[in-house]
Amino acid sequence: MKNYPVQERLVEEEVEQEVNLREYFFIIQKRKFIVLSILTIVFLLTIITTFSKVPIYTSSAEVLIERNRGASGLENTYYSHYDPEFLATQSAIITSLKVARRVVDSQKLATTYRKYFIKDAEESSFLASLKTGIKTGVRDFLGKMTGIMKSPAPDGDVPDDAALIVSEPLTDEDIIAGMIKGNLAVVPSKDSKIVRITSSHESPVMAKLVADAVTKAYVDEILDMKLTTSRYALQWMTAKADEERKKLENSEKAMQQYMRENDLVTVENKLTIAPQKMSGFSTQLSKAQTDRKALEDLSKQIAAAGSNIHLLENIPVFAENGVLKSLRETIFKARQNIAELSKKYGEKHPMMIKANDELSQLISQQQSEVNRVIATTKNSYELAKSQEGSLQQMLDSSKNELLNLNEKFIQYSIMKRDVDANRVVYEALTANIKKEGVTEQSQSVNVWVIRNAFLPDAPSKPNKKRNLMLGLILGLMGGIGCAFLIEYLDNTVKSEKDLEARYGLTVLGSVELVKEKGASIESFIIQKPLSPLAESYRLIRTGLLLSAAEHPPRSILITSMGPQEGKTSTTINVARVLSQGNKKVLIIDCDLRRPRVHSIFAMQNDKGLSNFLTGNTQENIICKIPGEDIFVVPSGTIPPNPSELLSSRKLKTFVEKMVENFDFVLIDSPPIQSVTDSLALTRVVDGTIVVVRAGKTTYEMLQSGLKKLRDVQCPLLGCVLNGQKRSHTSGSYYYGYTTYYAKDGEA
């Protein structure tokens, strides 16, 4: 029982996924013409391109390429490790123009086999001409767009850029070498040192011949590169070694001369001791500054206390003095003794006189000790100031000495660095000269042919099956992509779900687009009362009758956002399905600008609503439609001021009177976005129905129109989705629904 919420959530996710997939399917079905068109175009282009190409044969030879590390151990140890750039470098050499030129010379391709590479007769086939024309047109277009191509200079002068380029015409050897280079490919085998050298040509014999010849030409090119590089390296390193030897000797002499002139024999020891000495002076100076500051603060406290013995005793140096402590205790006892004696004797009693004399002597001793401490503090302060000054002088002197040593040592270090650098370069050159002399004749790369090229029995290009399959897939994916792109860019209303999800509108029903040739939607439900279209309007009638809580609305305004969205046809068909329930229905054509109701019913429009509202007629303007319980008030003569007439009190009174005489009163009005007539009519009806044209009414138009209706507090009954294509409807329900009514129609 506890797993039910989880199961329900999974079911909802599966249903949502199924709905999304179904919507994608309907988008593809709706845009199937675009999908099929793009698929056909791409597939036909693929067929033309594939079958117009000349068959190309490919032959390959397998070779093992390995770096020669040498047996004497003189090779750099780095080469013993994995070198990811080695095979890439060798592949570039194999496909180089120099190797291709060696193949041309060794196999005499420019003379004996020239006809296989250079065709003297020009191609005259239609496909060749078409291909050349397309390439030229595309190249010219791209050149103009990117600014690469330049217009010729006036008067036939050669442009400045062209004047700088002086090139000789290519020889047959150069042309054939370029063709061989373009048709070569090197494919390394995975996790091995074996590479496959492939050559492509229209002739299978030439493909095999070139593949074998490239292997030999590659080996010859490697040997030639090694010998040329070794000879040049030896010459260059010998001359460079002599130059570096002279630079080393000059730099050593200059350093010795500088050391002799500046007495720098023990400069490194001095540089080691001087910082320690300066650090000691700095520490002592800091301590002296601290002591001097403490004594200075103590002197300020003594000066602030003045001669007040009580204030002086609060200063730590006086409070902690042992003599003053003893005197304070003695004075305190003497005063206690005087206080006891004063109780027994008078002031002139010998005992009192003696006690006062003793107290005076103690106070005098206390003052003398205080004066001594003050003098000692002053002397200590002066001594601390003098010591601080001496230490500062010694520190400054040490700094100057260290700066002088640093300047000398910096120059010494620069000269020593030059000597070391020159020595390293000279020793490296000497070692490389010896090494190059030993390995001059050795080969840097070892090449072994594992398998010679084979004679191909079938062309490698074009792969017709693969190309056709790719063309089919790309065409299908491109068509589907374009279909989804167009669907994404389409901002028109397409389904009931859009109206409900975006605007929260009540959709009374959807009306299918009539595709039968010559059929009129206004008379379709009379001609085929059991058709799905007729049933759609019956569903709209049901929704309309249930749109209010107490009783259905009797006066209804039917409008749309823009012209030609089906509001007039909706008005007439809704009136007909309402009248089928033995109800009297009145249609009032309030579109006083472009009325259509009278033309649909083949009526005269010389007298109607506009004539009644202006008072130009006293005749009955209500006309009954023969054979139907439908009455019509035509628009009448088109007035110059429709908005003022529709906003008059007379129209409201007229509609109220018609509601008393008819079961339903339907008002056809102009579009909301075009004029304000419909907004004025909303105040005289019980509710309003908005007709939305599928594939035509945009979201922006509908949003703006709904805002206008809400601003005038219009009672909105719902909307009718008109002109919906059957492919836009989702689900098999509509298919079964259509089939069911089709069978009823046949019966």
Mean pLDDT confidence for 596-621: 84
Residue 169: DSSP 8-state: P
* pLDDT for the residue 741: 44
Tokens of 700: 């922006």
Q: What is residue 558's three-state secondary structure?
A: strand
Q: What is residue 196's three-state secondary structure?
A: strand
The Cα-based distances of 176 to 222, 456, 477, 644 in angstroms read 22, 21, 41, 89
Residue 511 lies in a domain: yes
Residue 461: DSSP 8-state: B
**Co-location of 539 and 671 in the same domain:** yes
**Co-location of 428 and 508 in the same domain:** no
Residue 627 lies in a domain: yes
Average pLDDT, the chain: 77
Residue 84 lies in a domain: no
Mean pLDDT confidence for 482-504: 82
Pinpoint the alpha helices (H) of 186-266. 204-262
**Co-location of 294 and 398 in the same domain:** yes
User: Residue 264's closest CA among 60, 102, 416?
Assistant: 416
pLDDT digits (tens, 9 = 90+) for 396-442: 777 776 677 677 777 777 877 778 887 888 777 777 766 665 455 55
Instruction: Report how far apart the first and last C-alpha atoms of the chain are (Å, whole number).
Output: 51
Worst-scoring range by mean pLDDT, 378-392, 534-548, 570-584, 646-660?
Answer: 378-392
**Co-location of 506 and 414 in the same domain:** no
**Co-location of 576 and 678 in the same domain:** yes
Interhelix angle 204-262/97-107, rounded to 10 degrees, is 130
161 against 348, higher pLDDT? 348
Residue 40 lies in a domain: no
* pLDDT for the residue 739: 43
Residue 717 lies in a domain: yes
Mean pLDDT confidence for 563-590: 88
**Co-location of 426 and 306 in the same domain:** yes
* pLDDT for the residue 190: 82
Q: How far apart are CA 509 and CA 560, in angstroms?
A: 15
Q: How far apart are CA 271 and CA 375, in angstroms?
A: 45
Mean pLDDT confidence for 390-397: 76
Residues in the chain: 747
Mean pLDDT confidence for 730-738: 42
Q: What is residue 448's three-state secondary structure?
A: strand
Other CB atoms within 10 A of residue 300 CB: 10
Percent of the chain clearing pLDDT 90 (strictly above):
4
User: Residue 95's closest CA among 199, 202, 220?
Assistant: 199
Q: How far apart are CA 299 and CA 132, in angstroms?
A: 108
Residue 377 lies in a domain: yes
597 against 284, higher pLDDT? 597
| CA atoms lying within 13 Å on the CB side of residue 251 | 21
pLDDT digits (tens, 9 = 90+) for 612-633: 888 877 778 888 888 888 899 9
Domain residues for 415?
Answer: 267-438
Worst-scoring range by mean pLDDT, 161-165, 175-179, 205-209, 279-283?
Answer: 161-165
Helix, strand, coil percentages (3-state) for the chain, rounded to 5, are 65, 10, 25
Query: The domain that contains 692 carries what CATH number?
Result: 3.40.50.300
Mean pLDDT confidence for 454-470: 85
Say if CB 722 and CB 694 are below 8 A apart: yes
* pLDDT for the residue 142: 58
Say if CB 719 and CB 574 are below 8 A apart: no
Residue 534, C-beta contacts closer than 8 angstroms, at least 6 positions apart: 524, 525, 528, 577
Instruction: Decide if pLDDT at 465 tops 70.
Output: yes
* pLDDT for the residue 631: 92
Q: How would you list the strands of the sheet with 687-693, edge to edge?
A: 507-512, 716-724, 687-693, 555-560, 664-668, 585-589, 630-633, 623-624
Query: The domain that contains 411 carries what CATH number?
Result: 1.10.287
Instruction: Decide if pLDDT at 81 tops 50.
Output: no
Percent of the chain clearing pLDDT 70 (strictly above):
79
* pLDDT for the residue 152: 46
Pinpoint the alpha helices (H) of 263-349. 267-305, 309-313, 316-319, 322-344
Instruction: Decide if pLDDT at 648 tops 80.
Output: yes
Three-state secondary structure along 2-49? CCHHHHHHHHHHHHHHHHHHHHHHHHHHHCHHHHHHHHHHHHHHHHHH
pLDDT digits (tens, 9 = 90+) for 215-244: 888 888 888 887 777 667 667 777 777 787
Q: How far apart are CA 531 and CA 535, in angstroms?
A: 6
Tokens of 222: 């490697």
Say if CB 567 and CB 558 are below 8 A apart: yes
Residue 461 lies in a domain: no
User: Residue 285's closest CA among 273, 293, 275?
Assistant: 293
**In the listed set 438, 464, 481, which residue is the last one of a domain according to the structure?**
438
* pLDDT for the residue 160: 47
**Co-location of 433 and 500 in the same domain:** no
* Strand bridging mode 555-560 / 664-668: parallel
Instruction: Tell me the backbone φ, ψ of residue 64, rounded to 5 degrees.
Output: -100, 120
Instruction: Decide if pLDDT at 15 tops 80.
Output: no
Say if CB 186 and CB 196 are below 8 A apart: yes
Tokens of 484: 């989804």
* pLDDT for the residue 132: 60
**Co-location of 431 and 536 in the same domain:** no
* pLDDT for the residue 135: 60
Mean pLDDT confidence for 130-137: 62
**Co-location of 394 and 521 in the same domain:** no
Residue 714 lies in a domain: yes
**Co-location of 326 and 404 in the same domain:** yes
What type of residue is 735? Y
Instruction: Decide if pLDDT at 155 tops 50.
Output: no
Q: How far apart are CA 70 and CA 443, in angstroms?
A: 9
Worst-scoring range by mean pLDDT, 116-125, 475-484, 553-562?
Answer: 116-125
pTM over 0.95: no
**Co-location of 363 and 512 in the same domain:** no
pLDDT digits (tens, 9 = 90+) for 102-124: 888 888 888 888 888 887 544 44
Mean pLDDT confidence for 679-703: 88
675 against 137, higher pLDDT? 675
pLDDT digits (tens, 9 = 90+) for 163-174: 444 456 888 888
User: Residue 472's closest CA among 34, 25, 38?
Assistant: 38
**Co-location of 412 and 337 in the same domain:** yes
Long-range contacts (CB closer than 8 Å, 24 or more residues apart) made by 251-255: 251/415, 251/418, 251/419, 251/422, 252/419, 254/415, 255/412, 255/415, 255/416, 255/418, 255/419
Instruction: Decide if pLDDT at 126 tops 70.
Output: no
Q: How far apart are CA 720 and CA 697, in angstroms?
A: 12
User: Residue 317's closest CA among 339, 334, 302?
Assistant: 302
Instruction: Decide if pLDDT at 307 tops 80.
Output: no
Say if CB 44 and CB 419 are below 8 A apart: no
* Total domains in the fold of the chain: 3
User: Residue 633's closest CA among 666, 656, 659?
Assistant: 666
Given pLDDT bands bounded at 50, 70 and 90, which one contains residue 690?
very high
